[in-house]
Amino acid sequence: MNAVAPFDHHTLGQRILFGSGRASHHLRLAVDEAGAASPMVIAGSSDRAIADAVLADLPYAVRFDEVRPHVPSELAERARVVARKAGADLLVSIGGGSTTGLAKAVALTTGLPIVAVPTTYAGSEATNVWGLTEAARKTTGQDNRVVPSVVVYDAELTRTLPRELSIASACNALAHCIDSLWAPRADPITTALATEAMTALVRALPDLAEHPDSLAGRERALYGAYLAAVVFAGAGSGLHHKICHVLGGRFDLPHAQTHAVVLPYVLAFNARCAPAAVSRIADALNTSDPVSGLRDLLESVGAPHALQTLGMPQEGVTESTDLILPLVPESNPRSVTRHDLAELLDSAWSGKSPS
Ligand code: NAD
């Protein structure tokens, strides 16, 4: 038996500039080093103040401020036309996963490089996954052209995130880590990074909830979120991500909050068949029982805990069971029957304690 089993790991090439209060400086550096003369800035109108502060006096060719969740195809097409007309030679995205997602959609067809300045813990900036929505159907794919060449992380930019979104977004990052442990391309590298990321995020969550002014908590969350995204890019989507993808697309549920609700149910379901994963999660949570440890942590920080409160109708449980069942990854440590999945979704819908 091998001490380390053979594996095939892809590392995405990008530069990470991390530093609180340094976003403007780092963005200028990235744009200068790219030799860009005509950047196109993508930042939603609701994130205008953050974008203005980060851009400072950076010259740009054009600014695009229409950002919507799940990147509607027609919006992506409009942004591509604006980029072409302005002769853009670089995309600068400032915002959460929806903003990064729009920049990725432009890069997908234009090949323009992206400098990403994330303002949430979603992590899209560190993956090669793009998503586009057409007629209420979200399509995703992987393409290295959409990987931002530089990511500028500045925890100061997350100060304005509402507390509830801050917590849900950090839970989204935690979900990347936990789900990666049984995801299809999990390997020793993704597992090691997931372990470090979980530790950072578990420490950050109480700070985000109780000390929202603490920069240390926000820095840990951002560091953990970056690692979590690298892990997600490497390991791929496990059962948890398949469930959230279907629910989000079908019922237009808020992304981060959906992840926060579903995560403890997937962990509770898989736990007894995934001893190695459970041991790592238990270490990160500093508990012998990670199922109740995660539940207690999420409860203590006030994370959302029922899909019904996010707007999912109860009839949606049966429909989603049908949609998710064929997508269950073969790598899942426990086989999943229709009954299991319906029960998991029903519990997550009502907010019944995961056990
Ligand atoms: P989001 O980008 O939709 O932002 C949510 C809300 O928070 C918006 O109203 C936004 O204006 C606001 N906001 C963002 N930053 C803020 C700040 N610092 N202060 C105040 N308000 C702020 O949500 P998200 O959770 O960051 O991203 C979700 C999207 O990202 C989903 O579409 C999801 O599919 C995608 N995503 C993609 C990947 C990938 O690898 N491709 C990974 C994770 C998430």
Measured CA to CA, the distance from residue 248 to residue 261 in angstroms comes to: 12
CB 308, CB 314: distance < 8 Å: yes
pLDDT per position as a tens digit, 130-183: 999 987 778 899 999 999 999 999 999 999 999 999 999 999 999 999 999 999
What pLDDT score does 355 carry? 76
Structure tokens at 159: 């100060």
What pLDDT score does 138 carry? 81
Measured CA to CA, the distance from residue 46 to residue 161 in angstroms comes to: 12
Ligand 1 atom with minimal separation from the 131 CA: 41
- Cβ-Cβ contacts under 8 Å for 38 (sequence gap 6 or more): 60, 61, 62, 86, 87, 88, 89, 90
Ligand 1 atom with minimal separation from the 118 CA: 15
pLDDT per position as a tens digit, 48-90: 999 999 999 999 999 999 999 989 999 999 999 999 999 999 9
CB 274, CB 181: distance < 8 Å: yes
| Centroid of ligand 1 to alpha carbon of 315 (angstroms) | 27
- Cβ-Cβ contacts under 8 Å for 315 (sequence gap 6 or more): none
Measured CA to CA, the distance from residue 126 to residue 107 in angstroms comes to: 14
Measured CA to CA, the distance from residue 76 to residue 81 in angstroms comes to: 9
Task: Put residue 272 in one of left, alpha, beta given phi > 0 → left and psi -120 to 50 → alpha.
Answer: alpha
Structure tokens at 288: 């012998």
Ligand 1 atom with minimal separation from the 126 CA: 40
Predicted TM-score (pTM) of the model is 0.97
Degrees to nearest 5, angle at CA 67 with 230 and 117: 40
Structure tokens at 188: 């020793």
Q: How far is CA 279 from CA 165, 191, 275, 287, 289, in A?
A: 29, 12, 6, 9, 9
Q: Does the structure show a pLDDT above 90 at 1?
A: no
Which 3 state secondary structure label does DSSP give 240? helix
For the chain, the C-alpha Rg in angstroms (whole number) is: 20
CB 228, CB 176: distance < 8 Å: yes
Structure tokens at 91: 């995309």
Nearest CA to ligand 1 atom 4: 96
Nearest CA to ligand 1 atom 21: 161
Give the closest residue to 206 by CA, choosing from 236, 174, 176: 174
Ligand 1 atom with minimal separation from the 99 CA: 2
pLDDT per position as a tens digit, 260-299: 999 999 999 999 999 999 999 999 999 999 999 999 999 9
| Centroid of ligand 1 to alpha carbon of 31 (angstroms) | 23
pLDDT per position as a tens digit, 223-266: 999 999 999 999 999 999 999 999 998 898 999 999 999 999 99
Give the closest residue to 46 by CA, choosing from 91, 105, 95: 95
How many percent of the chain have pLDDT more than 70?
A: 100
| Centroid of ligand 1 to alpha carbon of 306 (angstroms) | 20
| Centroid of ligand 1 to alpha carbon of 6 (angstroms) | 36
Measured CA to CA, the distance from residue 146 to residue 349 in angstroms comes to: 34
Ligand 1 binding site (Cβ under 6 Å of any ligand atom): 44, 46-47, 50, 69-70, 95-99, 101, 119-120, 122-124, 127, 129, 131, 157-158, 160-161, 165, 169, 255-256
Task: Put residue 40 in one of left, alpha, beta given phi > 0 → left and psi -120 to 50 → alpha.
Answer: beta
